[in-house]
Amino acid sequence: MVKVLIDLYQRKLDLFRQLGKLSASMAEFAPDQLIADDEVGEDFFKLLDERTVIIGQIDELTKQIQSHEEEGAVQEVEMLKCALQEEMIKLQGHNEAVETVVKRSLEQLREETRKLQSGKQSNRAYIGRVRSAEGSFIDKRR
């Protein structure tokens, strides 16, 4: 059973490393790229979907580990736990970078939305009302 626990921890560690690589890739995207290029945005969302799948797998392994951990810890298991902790710390840094990219993208989208709305208001000021074909009366007497 200890072998099973070691295997579970090793698989979890591998998943955390994959998650770290995905997060590092996501952090490399520039916010203006995400806004300007639909293809780049699609690539970002594909990576996000992959992350979601990996996180689900990690959650499942965590449940399995908890059911086996009652047997006691072995030195090899403790080493894997330390390696997992290190990967979690690295992943946290990547996640902060990804969060920054997403926040900046949202800020730029909001700014572009404001510019578009402002432009529409400016255009409305120059668009005259539709005049009727009947003519108009101008009173020149005062």
The CATH number covering residue 83 comes to 1.20.58
Rounded CA separation 71/132 (Å):
89
Q: Look at residue 139 and tell me if it is in a domain.
A: no
- Tokens of residue 110, six digits: 């909001």
- Cβ(73)–Cβ(1) under 8 Å? no
SS3 74: coil
The 10s digit of each residue's pLDDT in 76-127 is 788 888 889 999 898 898 889 888 888 888 888 888 888 888 777 666 655 6
Q: Which structural domain, as residue segments, surrounds residue 99?
A: 2-107
Q: Is the pTM of this model over 0.75?
A: no
Per-residue pLDDT of 25-44, as tens digits, reads: 988 888 888 888 888 888 98
- Total structural domains in the chain? 1
